Structure formats: structure tokens, C-alpha cells
Structure 1
């Protein structure tokens, strides 16, 4: 028998209307935060970043594709990975359908990863994705936007991710949860996720996820916004649905997979 509160339709409606007031307030707060994001100062980018794309070598300006705005998803896929991060992959499962809408609203989109383009393209075919995905050629782009770090930084505590400095990563990392070896929150055991990418924990966690926004104004590219870690939750479509399901996220460790891996033993 259920242990959850039950009641009448009238009682449900009264509770729902009370919740509705808080939901409306959250929406108003979200609108206000969006305006504050847009009001952030723009930072001019003069470095000549180069990327490999399906159309060939490209600059950051080229990724705009004639549009004035560019959104970038920093996809965790390092050169040593054999598959993309399953968490990034579950977020990316929602990209195909939205890209065309963004492109028709003066906003370009691209995922960017450090892995070679051929490896990204192979995984893209496996997942059935069509959104633009560029390789940063292991250049400065991922480092400059705080989504890639060196082994020495990891070992000595030189990683600054999500606008905070992490403590040195203890050894061994295998089997540890993110909460046990860094200050930022995470969804569960890192070793399990790392295994899905064909790497160990240190290698896997030197790449990080994020989103960055850029604007092209009078021929000059400016960085306008970046967000990381839990700041990506609103882009993770499955969680927006689970937050509205009767049992919520209802998580016990890592339950998600690459979408073609469900049902495998």
C-alpha cells in the first residue's frame, strides 16, 4: 500500500494552487536572471582559435555561420576517450531538434571537444546526431574556457572549474565519488562513468562540461557567458521531465547510459 499522501480531487487542487504561486515566482526569478546574464559585460576575444569541422578548418568567427550569436556546448570527449561522456551524451540527445530553431533566430550552435574530428564523427554517427560538432585540435580553446586541465593541475590542486579552485585530487581516484575528491557536486561514482568512455578516472575528469555564449559585433567576437556543472541542469532535458514525474529524480548511483546501451548486460 502506498505510503505517499493521498486525498480528494478538491484537496489536490488546493495544494496545487498553493504550489502554483511558488512556481510562478520561480519563473519570474528565472526571467530576471536571464536579463542579468544578458547584461554581463562582453569580453573581446583576439586569440585565433582554430577548429576542425565537417566543412574543414574554421576559426571561432566561422562557427557563427553568418549569424550574430553563437552557443557552444563543451562536450566531454578527450583524445583518449573511446566514447563521449554519457552525461554529455544524454544532454546532447536533445540538440538535434533545437538547432534548426536557433539557427532561424540568429543563433548558431556547435558542440566542441578535444578529440580528433574523425573520432567525434564516428560517435556522432553511432548516436544518430546531426548537430554541428567541432574538434578544438587539443588547442587553447578548452583550457581558456576552463573545461580542460592538466595532470599536474589535477594532482597539485591547480584546477579552477565552475569559478572555484578544487583541492588536489587524492590517489587512488578509482571508485571515488566526486563528492569524495572535489568540492563540486556530481551525480555519482566517477569510475563508472569513466569506464563508459573507455578511460580511467583521472583521464576522464581532466575534461569538464560547460556552455559558453559568444556574440559577433562589427566583426569582433566577444565572450558573453559561461556556465558549468549544476549550471547545466536546465539544459539536461531528461531531468526537466523527471522533476515533474511522481518520484522525481529517484536516483541511486549512476543509472543513465549512452542511449544505445540500455538493455545491455
Structure 2
């Protein structure tokens, strides 16, 4: 009987390891700068007005798309794959949700985040209880929301992230990504990077007039932000 062990990286001296690490960190820093430039370009994307009066079922009753903002200016919608005839939610989407940040950090930057699926609210609430989640989750069953936003097609359900901006009662869609575009999500930084206002810190390359504060000055523990 033969056995095998997982392959291991090459073993080198401390000096050789330090040299190899330094070379890699140069490339990582370049990637970070490239990502900063891409985020700056995203903040300058044009937007499209949302004119349909979409309705959703939530645990407080039927609400509008405007209600999902909860009074904040920006809204991130995660299109969670859960069709009406499914017995449970998508496993991949569940991975994404379980890596989401504490929403208090997004709220501190005037940004709300919700999940939206086509399954009836009763099914969403049951799965939410099973998973131990407390994120706001709404059913779009009976509306054209999923189809209009590319989350339900002839091929079936699709996952993705839509970003919306509110100007008074006028709503706009500013960004969307799907497929592997959601893989890098998992911290409040990456979610804020998707929004038109970004992290709202002075080091960012943003259009004139964008809300900004000094880096890290706004950070709090999630129970210290207050209202």
C-alpha cells in the first residue's frame, strides 16, 4: 500500500526567504495601486435612473426599493440565488453572505446592504434562521426586479451585486458585478469600494465634492457608532 503526502514549498535559508518575500511584496504593492486606480474609475462611472416602482416583502410587510435604503444614501443589493421552487438557498451565495462584514461599519459610511431573492419570504426567513443570519433579506416575488437587474434570466437564477445611489426620492443604479466578480467581497473595505463614494477618505482619488474624512478617523467598534 502506497501513501502520499502533500507537496511542500522549497526549504531555504532565512536570507533567501526574506529576499523572495520582498520581491513578492513589490508585486503585491503594484497590484494594490492598480486596484486603487480601478476603484477611482468605478467612482466616476455614470449612473442610470431607476423608474419602476418595485415592491418587496420584508419582515415588516411590503416595502419599496426606496425603503431598502433605510434613509441612507447608498444601497448595496446582493442578489442571492433562491428560486421559489427551491428547498434551500444557493450554497455559493451562502458562502458570500457568511463573509459579509458587520453592517454597522457600512452604515457609518451612509451605506445599507440587503439581500434580495425571488423565493417567498417564508422560505427566506426559514433559511435565515437555519443559517443563524440577521441580515435584512427581502423577497422580490411577483415583481420584475430580478429580471430587470439581470438576477433572473431564461437560464435561471444568477448571483451578483448591484449598487444604488439615492438623491432624495430619485434612485439610480451605479454598478453591477456577477460571476467571479463577487469573490473578493468579504470586508467593509471591499464593499465600500464598490460604491460611488468609496471609503470616503481623503487619500482616495475621487471627484471634487465627494464626502471624505481623514483616513481611519471614522472607524469605531460596531457598537460605538451610535445612530
Question: TM-score by structure 2 length?
Answer: 0.77
> Which residues in structure 2 correspond to 1:1-265 (within 5 Å)?
2-95=7-100, 97-150=101-154, 154=155, 206-235=156-185
Which ranges of structure 2 fall in alignment gaps of 5 or more residues? 188-227
Structure 1 or 2: larger helix share?
Answer: 1
Q: Secondary structure at the match of 2:152?
A: coil
Q: What value does the CA root-mean-square deviation take over the aligned residues?
A: 1.6
Which ranges of structure 1 fall in alignment gaps of 5 or more residues? 155-205, 238-265
Alpha-carbon distance between aligned partners in 2 of 1:149 and 1:221, rounded to the nearest angstrom: 23
Q: CA deviation at 1:3?
A: 4.9
Q: How many residues align?
A: 183
Alpha-carbon distance between aligned partners in 2 of 1:39 and 1:56, rounded to the nearest angstrom: 36
**CA-to-partner distance for each residue in 1:101-160, whole Å, 9 max, x for gaps?**
11122001100000000100000000000010000014211111111023xxx4xxxxxx
Between 136-145 and 75-84, the greater mean CA deviation after superposition: 136-145
Alpha-carbon distance between aligned partners in 2 of 1:66 and 1:34, rounded to the nearest angstrom: 25
Partner of 2:200: none
Q: Secondary structure at the match of 1:61?
A: helix
Alpha-carbon distance between aligned partners in 2 of 1:60 and 1:217, rounded to the nearest angstrom: 13
Partner of 1:243: none
Q: CA deviation at 1:30?
A: 0.8
Alpha-carbon distance between aligned partners in 1 of 2:167 and 2:92, rounded to the nearest angstrom: 33
Partner of 1:198: none
Q: CA deviation at 1:94?
A: 2.1
Large movers: runs of 4+ above 2 Å = 1-4
Alpha-carbon distance between aligned partners in 2 of 1:144 and 1:94, rounded to the nearest angstrom: 27
Q: Secondary structure at the match of 2:24?
A: helix
Q: CA deviation at 1:61?
A: 0.6
Alpha-carbon distance between aligned partners in 1 of 2:8 and 2:128, rounded to the nearest angstrom: 44
Q: CA deviation at 1:236?
A: 5.5
Question: TM-score by structure 1 length?
Answer: 0.66
